[in-house]
Structure 1
Amino acid sequence: MWAAIDFGISNTDVVVWDGRSDVATVRHWKQAYQGEPSAEMVRRLLAQGDVTPRRLRTVAVTGGHHRGLPAAIDGCPLVGVNEVDAIARGGQALAHLPERATPVLVVSGGSGVAMIAARGDQFAHVTGSGVGGGAMLGLSKLLIQTTDPEEIDALALAGNANHVDLALIDVVSGPIGSLPPDTTAVNFGRVARLDAPPARADLAAAVVTLVSQVIGTIAVNAARAQAMEHVVVIGHLTDMHSIRTQIGHVGRFFGLPIQTPAPAGHATALGALLSLPDLKATPGE
């Protein structure tokens, strides 16, 4: 049995594989960030799934300050995995691709956003964005007084971003190419014209739209710069249905479908697991 832990800025994810099942049945659990990694933290994280280090052949660790962990805990080796490799490998595992060697841009949507070009076993960080889950939570706290992703998601799904944003139809008198009239022209542009504050749901929808459009647009441009036809978004930001929906809209808008598999919050931990050199087989392959 093998395990992997991804120490994220907001969440820590754990996956465990029994060596027999495929990738769809890898066990996964998470906890909110609780400080810097330590041997005791690793024990506590594994214990949440009734696993001890002594039962494991190897634990892959990635993210955060994982390099500060010891080489072994209770006789179980810890293997550090470069986060770029873990993100790429996890994205490949969850994406629907003709084959694993198919080039794909893997977008890791967490507190921040990293974009990795994956070509078979060759991975390279190509760009990223500071506008991600952290920005969404920060803006939501300022505008709608909540940092609960589930509440933000529910509000965004119920709201209308065009009550906060300006659309093309608001700022031009005729069509611009093939752009639909409800295309966002100015994020939050309507607010300066309003006599009363927008509804919370509309503000939540506008925040989600802004974050999704930034991520999606950068991803499309990065994929085209890398001559890639496939894009997959992973990470806990995609736990939110509203985010998946809006990022999907961006992909369709630009004619480049963006995959948003769910759940995908554990993808980087899964990628770290799949990077272990002592695995006898690769889940799902």
Structure 2
Amino acid sequence: MGMVIGIDVGGSTTKIIGVNEEGIKHPMMVRAADPITSLFGAFGKYIYDNGINLEDIEKVMLTGVGSAYVDQPLYGLPTAHTDEFLANGLGAHYALQLKDLIVVSMGTGTSFVKVEGDNICHIGGIGIGGGTILGLSRLLLRTHDIHQVVEMAKKGVIENIDLQIKDICNAALPGLPLDATASTFGKANTNSSMEDVAAGIIHMVLQSIGQSVILAALNSSIRDFVLIGNLAKLPQCREIFPIMEEMYQCRFHIPEYAEYRTALGAALAYAGKLCFQ
């Protein structure tokens, strides 16, 4: 089999990854003002930077909200579209020794995809994600630079923003340690530092996502949740999700190339012949 290129086309960001018999090749991300510019820029840069000949590419697989704008061959290569939720499931499951799981795709908002054996099913989601962090940061921090927000949050103290169990009770409640969140932003005031506010925003979004997928899994035996998307790379994930693992007896996994897993799933869909021409 020649190389299969998987491309996840967002509104302004395109993620691209190659797959062949040797495995994953050269993941790359490109930003542009619109999905078409982003797509063609990403693909051109990808093949140029990696010295890939067009004749070595067997198929180009597209997914993501921006892929709807593409209805013709890409640089003369055969293309096909695949469902984004299917791509999430296939990509998240790749190389993980898990049979059943829920994929938590953390993008602008967050979607949940259940994987049980070979069955992949979208089960819902929440309108909280990276878009929430950026929107609240514009309002409260006067910036939409996610890197700046993350660095500010590292210096913040979450106990100065969130109301915790220990603030309202002198003993731990069943299943709730004293440092569990009772109310996000429950202690915020007009004197709160920008760093504390940044920490509060990121903690609120990540906690909401984690707690939501735990609730989504209550009627199943699934206790493994795979985090993919750009937010999975936030350093705060390494602090927040282990706390929820201990509280709720579950497991959150952040796989290698987490931000590229949807693009990877698009390529794998072709390998499994699960694409939509």
Q: Does TM, scored on the shorter chain, surpass 0.5?
A: yes
Contact 1:149 1:240 in 2 (8 A): no
SS state at 1:73 partner: coil
**Is residue 2:107 matched to residue 1:124?**
no
Q: Taking structure 1 as reference, are residues 229 and 159 closer, same or farther at Cα in structure 2, changes over 3 Å only?
A: same
Q: Look up the match of 1:222.
A: 216
Give me the TM-score of the superposition, normalised by structure 1. 0.86
Q: Look up the match of 2:136.
A: 139
Q: Taking structure 1 as reference, are residues 41 and 205 closer, same or farther at Cα in structure 2, changes over 3 Å only?
A: closer
Give me the TM-score of the superposition, normalised by structure 2. 0.89
Kindly provide the amino acid, as one letter, of the partner of residue 84 in structure 2: E
Contact 1:54 1:74 in 2 (8 A): no
Q: Look up the match of 2:64.
A: 63
- Of 115, 123, 130, the match for 2:112: 115
CA displacement at 1:224 relative to structure 2: 2.8
Measured on the aligned residues, the alpha-carbon RMSD in Å equals 2.1
CA distance in 2, matches of 1:54, 1:70: 21
Q: Look up the match of 1:30.
A: 29
- Of 3, 9, 12, the match for 2:5: 3
CA distance in 1, matches of 2:148, 2:243: 22
Could you list the per-position Cα deviations for residues 206-232 of structure 1 after superposition, in whole angstroms to 9, with x for gaps in the alignment? 111100111000111212323212111
SS state at 1:224 partner: coil
Could you list the per-position Cα deviations for residues 83-109 of structure 1 after superposition, in whole angstroms to 9, with x for gaps in the alignment? 010001111015x324xxx01100100
Q: Look up the match of 1:282.
A: none
CA distance in 2, matches of 1:134, 1:265: 16
**Is residue 2:171 matched to residue 1:156?**
no
Contact 1:216 1:251 in 2 (8 A): no
CA displacement at 1:151 relative to structure 2: 1.8
Contact 2:11 2:34 in 1 (8 A): no
Task: State percent identity of aligned pairs.
Answer: 26
Q: Taking structure 1 as reference, are residues 69 and 89 closer, same or farther at Cα in structure 2, changes over 3 Å only?
A: same
Gaps of 5+ in 1: 280-285
CA displacement at 1:146 relative to structure 2: 2.0
Q: Look up the match of 1:260.
A: 254
CA displacement at 1:41 relative to structure 2: 5.3
Q: Look up the match of 2:101.
A: 104
- Of 249, 254, 269, the match for 1:275: 269
CA displacement at 1:33 relative to structure 2: 4.7
Q: Taking structure 1 as reference, are residues 263 and 156 closer, same or farther at Cα in structure 2, changes over 3 Å only?
A: farther
Tell me the number of residue pairs that the alignment of Structure 1 and Structure 2 aligns: 267
Q: Taking structure 1 as reference, are residues 263 and 57 closer, same or farther at Cα in structure 2, changes over 3 Å only?
A: closer
CA distance in 2, matches of 1:68, 1:9: 10
CA displacement at 1:16 relative to structure 2: 1.6
Contact 1:113 1:132 in 2 (8 A): yes
Contact 1:223 1:230 in 2 (8 A): no
Could you list the per-position Cα deviations for residues 234-255 of structure 1 after superposition, in whole angstroms to 9, with x for gaps in the alignment? 0001121113431332232211
SS state at 2:242 partner: helix
Q: Look up the match of 2:73.
A: 72
SS state at 2:133 partner: helix
Gaps of 5+ in 2: none
Q: Look up the match of 2:15.
A: 13
